[in-house]
Amino acid sequence: MGIYLSSPKKEKFSEDGGNGRPRYGLSSMQGWRATMEDAHATIADLDATTSFFGVYDGHGGKVVAKFCSKFLHQQILKNEAYAAGDIGTSVQKAFFRMDEMMRGQRGWRELEALGDKINKFTGMIEGLI
């Protein structure tokens, strides 16, 4: 059947949490895909005044979604624009930083550890397309 199942997986993963500011709830379901490809990040206390919530669609492969859920919020915080109060610029630069990180040797090792095999011959991450 390829990357699709003959019937959807309907089991749901649900989580809730928060702090003194926001409360959140989330739920995910694999559906018709052969594997769960999406990821999320919920950080109620990114810093003293900010929370971070991210939903990452795997678009046919889970590894980049998992990578971004692990590192994107960290790169937002590290950017000098964030410290200056320009969150929009910091988010934009953090997305570009994700691309840079994944191209580096440490990034490749991290991607491999997150679950998909990297085809050493082509340099492509299997399962991304």
**Residue 72 located in a structural domain:** yes
The contacts of residue 99 (CB under 8 Å, 6+ apart) are none
**Residue 108 located in a structural domain:** yes
**Residue 86 located in a structural domain:** yes
* 80-112 pLDDT tens trace: 999 999 999 999 999 999 999 998 888 888 888
> CB atoms < 10 A from the CB of 60, how many?
12
The structure tokens listed for 13 are 């993963």
* 10-40 pLDDT tens trace: 999 999 999 988 999 999 999 998 888 899 9
Distance CA 76, CA 97 (A): 9
* Domain housing 33: 4-113
* Total domains present in the chain: 1
**Residue 121 located in a structural domain:** no
* 57-84 pLDDT tens trace: 987 678 999 999 999 999 999 999 999 9
**Residue 124 located in a structural domain:** no
**Residue 123 located in a structural domain:** no
**Distances in Å between the alpha carbon of 99 and those of 19, 72, 104?**
31, 11, 9
**Residue 129 located in a structural domain:** no
**Residue 10 located in a structural domain:** yes
* 37-61 pLDDT tens trace: 899 999 999 998 899 999 999 876 7
CATH of the domain at 11: 3.60.40.10
- Per-residue confidence (pLDDT) for residue 58, from 0 to 100: 85
- At 117, is the pLDDT very low, low, confident or very high (cuts 50, 70, 90)? low
- Per-residue confidence (pLDDT) for residue 116, from 0 to 100: 55
